[in-house]
Amino acid sequence: MITLKNLIPQLLSQAWNTVKNRSNLTRILLYLLYFAILFFLFLYLLFPYDKLKERLIYEAESKSALKVSINKLTPLLFNGIWLKDVEVFHRDNPKGAPLFKGDIGLRFSLFRLIRRGIAVKGDIRAYNGEAIVNITDRKIQGDIKGIDLGAYTALKGLYDVDAAGIMSGRLDAASGADIFSGSSLNLEKINGEARFNIANLSVKNLKILGLKLPDTFFDAVQSELRINDGRLNIKRLSLEGRELNIQVTGDIILAREISSSPMNIIVRIKPSVRFEEENKIFFSMGKAKDGEGFYNINIRGTLRTPNLS
């Protein structure tokens, strides 16, 4: 059986014989190419990938409240690595449901690394879907396709929410300063927009501020978000279903500690007659309906301590 270990010496031997039979100039150029291939081959085979894996885990855990596990790290030819079976937990709950579980491929721009800059292309495969992310010093772009919310066990494990639906979306953001500042994101200078949608979303056992929302189904969820110098504007977030329509607008002022970000959000809820009748207790907690048949709820405070009015 021909193995990679046996095949490489054969190919190198054939390449060497080809070099020897060429003209002087061609031979010199081929010599240079041959030794360059040798250099990258041995770098590829002998690089200390276990040490790199340990370093990546250390950097992630030392700058966050996360516990990270990488089952295996393998190279992607010349300028990349593939992280297999990555699991991310909250440090306070290392044996609970993972916040993330999947595979991550990273490709780096060697030219940017030489100049001490950042240029990374990430290929994230998780929850039966994929996300492609491009990150530089002052720009973030990303596309997500086919993420299955039903496969995301953290919703059930951490929040006791049963959800199902397929999520897709896109993010485009740029900054007038370096996006990464030390161990945190520099959000004050970022400008951009994001859009995402969820098809066939079903939600059960969802609680907001201690109130249990009625279980329901939405045919479509669509959103349009904009960020301008640290202010996240929810231009549109609509959840459209046969029994319930929800519209969300408002602003969040992004702080360096995200949970401390102040917000002013308006939630409008319009139930069908049957749905409202079956969930009288929930809808009796809100204000009277407006002229369009919506219950209006205002949420202020911070992301950590929101207040209803």
Spell out the residues 6+ positions from residue 236 whose beta carbon is closer than 8 angstroms to its own: 222, 223, 224, 247, 249
Please give the average per-residue pLDDT across 184-213, as a whole number: 80
Higher pLDDT pick, 257 / 234: 234
Q: Is the pLDDT of residue 161 over 80?
A: yes
Tell me the domain boundaries of the chain. Answer: 1-46, 47-126, 147-309
Please give the average per-residue pLDDT across 162-180, as a whole number: 86
Q: Where are the alpha helices (DSSP H) in the chain?
A: 4-20, 24-46, 49-62, 110-114, 154-159, 273-278, 280-283
In this structure, what DSSP letter does residue 198 have?
Answer: E
Residue located via tokens 């290392």: 94
Please give the average per-residue pLDDT across 239-264, as a whole number: 86
Q: Which of 92, 86, 84 is nearest to 66 (CA)?
A: 92
How far apart CA 51 and CA 47 sit, in angstroms, is: 9
How far apart CA 97 and CA 158 sit, in angstroms, is: 7
Mean pLDDT for the chain overall: 79
What per-residue confidence (pLDDT) applies to 23? 47
Cα angle vertex 196, ends 155, 85, to 5°? 50
The model's pTM:
0.73
Q: Is the pLDDT of residue 56 over 70?
A: yes
From its phi and psi, is residue 78 left (phi > 0), alpha (psi between -120 and 50) or beta? left
* Local confidence band at 137 (pLDDT 50, 70, 90 cut-offs): confident
